[in-house]
């Protein structure tokens, strides 16, 4: 699988949920180099530089949050000072001993990415312990590919998940295989491979919560955990 890890380049969302950065204005394209310590809420390349779209957008990972944008450091200031300046408090983006600079003229309004999130039915993607798209899943991805052609596509993010049955290591690999299966299918539908980034979350982000007791029989438990066996796909683009 062609993986894009958090140490590499890593949503109009069409099939599920994860996050992406759309700053208030992206006229500046200054390189944002993070210190590499801890989890970074933005996709980074091998130089620890935050990945940007062709229009200057910083790409968020699934772990992005307003708090993370203000704590992941890029030199003297948080990475969010460049990527999410409309979210990170201004006092975090200036040196304590230096007076705040005079406000710059407001940049010309630029088109913001549009996002419409649609949840893809989990059981339309994968059966238990499988990474092969079901016919229903292929139909949903056909719809996604058609929608993507109607926007100026920036990036598609595909994040694979599993249920909690099995070892952590096995489920991590299975989630990556599922994400890669989605990417392969979309590439076959004419979407550029370098526009699609994949990641596996293993069993770490279940959607069933505490709804499925281990006291259930195995067959009933597998059926109950079906919503966890999914790939979340998000398409980012501008109209």
Q: Does residue 214 register a pLDDT over 50?
A: yes
pLDDT score recorded for residue 127: 86
**CATH of residue 144:** 3.30.1330.60
170 pLDDT tier (thresholds 50, 70, 90): very high
Establish if 10 belongs to a structural domain.
Answer: no
More confident residue, 71 or 132: 132
Closest Cα to residue 176, out of 211, 202, 142, 148? Answer: 202
User: What is the DSSP secondary-structure string of 67-85?
Assistant: HHHTTSEETTEETHHHH-T
Same structural domain, 184 and 223: yes
Question: 139 and 80, same structural domain?
Answer: no
- Give the residue ranges of DSSP H helices in the chain: 66-69, 80-83, 135-148, 168-188, 218-224
pLDDT tens track for 143-162: 888 888 888 888 888 889 99
Q: Tokens 């067959």 identify what position?
A: 219
The predicted pLDDT at position 111 comes to: 61
Residue where a domain stops, chosen among 102, 137, 172? 102
149: in domain? yes
For residue 75, the model assigns a pLDDT of: 82
Look at residue 121 in the predicted model and tell me its pLDDT: 39
Structure letter (DSSP) for residue 52: B
Higher per-residue pLDDT: 45 or 22: 45
Residue finishing a domain among 102, 132, 162: 102
Q: Which two tokens stand for residue 35?
A: 């210190």
CB within 8 Å of 120: residues ≥ 6 apart? 15, 16, 137, 140, 230, 231, 232, 233
Sign of CA dihedral 197, 200, 204, 207: positive
Residue 99 has a pLDDT of: 57
Euclidean distance between CA atoms 25 and 84, whole angstroms: 9
Distance CA 55, CA 28 (A): 10
In a domain, 8, yes or no: no
Is the same domain home to 159 and 98? Answer: no
61 falls within a domain: yes
- 5 inside domain: no
Q: Is 25 part of a structural domain of the chain?
A: yes
Distances (CA, A) of 124 to 54, 61, 82, 104, 216: 33, 25, 39, 50, 23
Is residue 5 over pLDDT 50? no
- Together in a domain, 152 and 196: yes
pLDDT in tens, 64-111: 877 888 888 888 888 888 888 878 888 888 875 555 667 777 776 666
As a whole number, mean pLDDT of residues 134-138 equals: 85
The per-residue pLDDT for 84 is 82
Domain count for the chain: 2
Looking at the structure, do residues 95 and 128 belong to the same domain, yes or no? no
What span, in angstroms and rounded, lies between the C-alpha atoms of 132 and 145? Answer: 18
- Cβ 82 vs Cβ 92: under 8 Å: no
Q: Give the E-state strand segments of the chain in sequence order.
A: 73-74, 77-78, 152-160, 196-200, 231-238
**Mean of pLDDT over the chain:** 77
Q: β-strand 231-238 against 152-160: which pairing, if any?
A: antiparallel
Judge if 84 and 168 occupy the same domain. Answer: no
**Section 179-190 average pLDDT:** 92
Length of the chain: 239
Q: Are residues 177 and 222 in the same domain?
A: yes
| DSSP summary character for residue 9 | -
Note down the domain range covering 84. Answer: 21-102
On whether both 138 and 224 belong to a single domain, the answer is yes
**Residues 21-43: what's their mean pLDDT?**
66
Q: Residue 44: what pLDDT?
A: 82
Instruction: Band the pLDDT of 4: cuts 50, 70, 90.
Output: very low
203: buried, middle or exposed (CB in 10 Å: 19+, 13-18, 0-12)?
buried
233 shares a domain with 130? yes
Whether residue 51 is found in the same domain as residue 157: no
* Residue 165 pLDDT greater than 70, yes or no: yes
């Amino acid at each position: 699988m062609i993986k894009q890890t958090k140490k590499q380049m890593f949503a109009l969302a069409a099939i599920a949920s994860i996050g992406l950065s759309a700053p208030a204005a992206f006229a500046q394209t200054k390189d944002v180099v993070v210190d590499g310590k801890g989890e970074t809420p933005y996709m980074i390349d091998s130089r620890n530089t935050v990945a940007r779209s062709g229009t200057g957008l910083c790409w968020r990972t699934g772990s992005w949050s307003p708090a993370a944008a203000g704590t992941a450091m890029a030199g003297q200031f948080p990475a969010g000072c460049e990527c999410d300046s409309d979210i990170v408090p201004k006092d975090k983006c200036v040196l304590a001993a230096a007076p705040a600079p005079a406000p710059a003229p407001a940049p010309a309004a630029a088109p913001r990415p549009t996002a419409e999130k649609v949840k893809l039915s989990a059981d339309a993607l994968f059966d238990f312990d499988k990474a092969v798209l079901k016919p229903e899943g292929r139909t949903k991805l056909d719809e996604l590919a058609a929608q993507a052609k109607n926007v100026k596509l920036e990036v598609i993010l595909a994040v694979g998940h599993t249920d909690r049955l099995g070892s952590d290591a096995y489920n991590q690999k299975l989630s990556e295989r599922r994400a890669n299966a989605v990417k392969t299918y979309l590439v076959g539908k004419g979407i550029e491979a370098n526009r699609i980034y994949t990641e596996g979350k293993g069993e770490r982000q279940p959607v069933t919560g505490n709804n499925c007791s281990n006291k259930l029989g195995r067959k009933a438990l597998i059926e109950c955990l079906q919503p966890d066996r999914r790939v979340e796909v998000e398409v980012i683009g501008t109209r």
